[in-house]
Structure 1
């Protein structure tokens, strides 16, 4: 399996502003790039690289062409739900427990950046 560099921004990164969304192309093109197994190498918080915790070395996300995904070997346990490409917003929305959880704001053949939705970042 090809090891992919992935910068992962979780919901706990509340003080960062979202990057401009730049996932473009047709749904078929996005599926071709996205639908594979992505290894999570690290997370970023406030510009600092955070290594994956011990035991999370195999943490990965597997995206499927039926618009579902699986999280495997995550510290909080395995999960699965759906993803939706929003061409107008230039992003992929990842759902968790049936609710929008995070966004893929950058997607290339070798990099995927996942950011929390803006609504998750607004406190107060």
Structure 2
């Protein structure tokens, strides 16, 4: 092959490999998270899945950009490590959704004033 098409093919494979690593990490974290804490409703399942994917992508991207890990894409082991970052960043996404659902369900039937008072008391308790 000529050098231009060879380098184009290599660049395409590098991009494709990174996309596969990211997709695999996101699928695995979504599977692990949802299997550990089964959703109580289809709505909670959908929201949890979306939040897990978003937290995986944004958290992993933040780590890569913050610490300049872009060059790790050139090596298979580097891509596996980057996939691990995406995986780990997705785990808290579902937990935050679950905590939010629990809090909202607990506050159902209360006025906004009662909820604000509760939050203020909780904040004051944290300071102690």
TM-score under structure 2 length normalisation: 0.22
Greater Rg by CA: 2
Bigger fraction of residues in strand: 1
Greater per-residue helix proportion? 2
TM-score when normalising by structure 1: 0.22
